[in-house]
Structure 1
Amino acid sequence: MTNKLKGLSLEQREQLLNTLKTRFEKNMNRHTGLEWAEVQARLENNPEKLWSLNAMEETGGEPDVVGLDNESGEYIFYDCSVESPKGRRSVCYDREALESRKKHKPENSAIDMATEMGIELLTEEQYRELQKLDHFDMKTSSWVQTPEAIRKLGGAIFCDRRYDTVFMYHNGADSYYGARGFRGSLRV
């Protein structure tokens, strides 16, 4: 993720495409009716998006195609790791929350990391869509995009799955936990 040029070597690109193809073929229920060859062609024409997908992969997100926007023609990728991506845990919600902490600051915030990676946090609606594909965050939780009204009051929202139910909760935006990270989305 530290490459400021946001480029991948040929070897990195081939390795990532192979990983994505394998995951795509293994999880056809996530993208019924879509063809890998079309996804790959789109990815190869968008190297900056490949860089973002690589950042998702490197931080444990296991990105996969979950849909196609028929209007724009963009493929939609979500983090599909079983638990919240390991390389994105122990972060507070955003920069304001990070700066407001006086003691025991986390190293980063979810919004800052997502921005650096070129992705967006899932919305609550997207998170619930993801949960229809499989069971995710059974032991962890994930920050999701927080409505401005809640954020102005110092809070942020996160989701998880417990008791075969998807829950949405609130917490102070400056809180962080070892089992809470964030899931991202990327349109290619």
Structure 2
Amino acid sequence: MSQTRTINQQKHLSPEQQDDLLSVLKARFEKNMNRHQGLDWESVQAKLAANPEKLWVLDDMETTGGEPDVVGYDATTGDYIFYDCSAESPKGRRSVCYDRAAWESRKEHKPASNAVDMAADMGIELLTEAQYRELQQLGPFDTKTSSWVKTPDAIRKLGGALFCDCRYGHVFVYHNGAESYYGARGFRGSLRV
């Protein structure tokens, strides 16, 4: 959230910060029931209470503009699945190239960071193309921006990376040099709790 986080070795939020974040997540959950039909907030909150380190990750998702929300439940593992559900690519994660190798290859005008390292530092996974398409079934996302998605190794080894957006009511998948970065391109992530 906007206040400075209390940092300790376990990366836990203070009780007040936890309450603030849970209030935001609950309001978003209740406002967007189409994203998680058949699921109830009390069960999600109980799972979060049992995994407080995940609140730290969700707070990172929130403070970088991702607006995380529950988009599914894995009955096999008992995990709730959160995706970044902001209308546009998260503002705090834009203007980044794809990964560290791409960042290191830039001789001039390096971006501040890269999507793969930022996601790992946050504790989230970049959405895959399939997950991105699932997200788009829940509403229109990235109608003015675009988001890097997890790129297959075969494409990445050739210097490319994939990104997606939604235009004209259709999801498009594109490629670009992994070292490229744009003010309107960020990345979306997922988290299992």
Partner of 1:153: 158
Q: Which amino acid aligns with 1:10?
A: P
Q: 1:7-59, CA deviations, whole angstroms, 9 ceiling, x for partnerless residues? A: 21111100000000000000000000001000000001111111000000000
SS at match of 2:141: coil
Pairing partner for 1:65 from 54, 57, 70: 70
Q: Which amino acid aligns with 1:9?
A: S
Query: Structure 1: how far apart are the matches of 2:121 and 2:19?
Result: 23
Partner of 2:141: 136
Query: Structure 2: how far apart are the matches of 1:26 and 1:72?
Result: 26
Query: Where does 1:33-182 land on structure 2 (aligned, <5 Å)?
Result: 33-182=38-187
SS at match of 2:87: coil
CA distance 1:105–1:68, change in 2 (3 Å): same
Partner of 2:22: 17
SS at match of 2:148: strand
Q: 1:94-136, CA deviations, whole angstroms, 9 ceiling, x for partnerless residues? A: 0110011000000000001000000000000000000000000
User: Under a length normalisation based on structure 2, what TM-score does the superposition of the two structures give?
Assistant: 0.95
Query: Structure 2: how far apart are the matches of 1:175 and 1:11?
Result: 40
- RMSD value over aligned CA atoms? 1.1
- The structural deviation recorded for 1:4 is 6.8
User: Under a length normalisation based on structure 1, what TM-score does the superposition of the two structures give?
Assistant: 0.98
Listed as ranges, the gaps of 5+ residues in structure 1 are none
Listed as ranges, the gaps of 5+ residues in structure 2 are none
| Identical columns (%) | 72
SS at match of 1:72: coil
What is the number of residues matched between the two proteins?
188
Q: Please list every run of at least 4 consecutive aligned residues from structure 1 whose deviation after the TM superposition is greater than 4 angstroms.
A: 1-4
CA distance 1:107–1:4, change in 2 (3 Å): farther
Q: 1:55-87, CA deviations, whole angstroms, 9 ceiling, x for partnerless residues? A: 000000000000000100000000000000000
Query: Structure 2: how far apart are the matches of 1:160 and 1:184?
Result: 14
- The structural deviation recorded for 1:181 is 0.1
Q: 1:145-188, CA deviations, whole angstroms, 9 ceiling, x for partnerless residues? A: 00000000000000000011000000000000000000000000
Query: Structure 1: how far apart are the matches of 2:122 and 2:8?
Result: 10
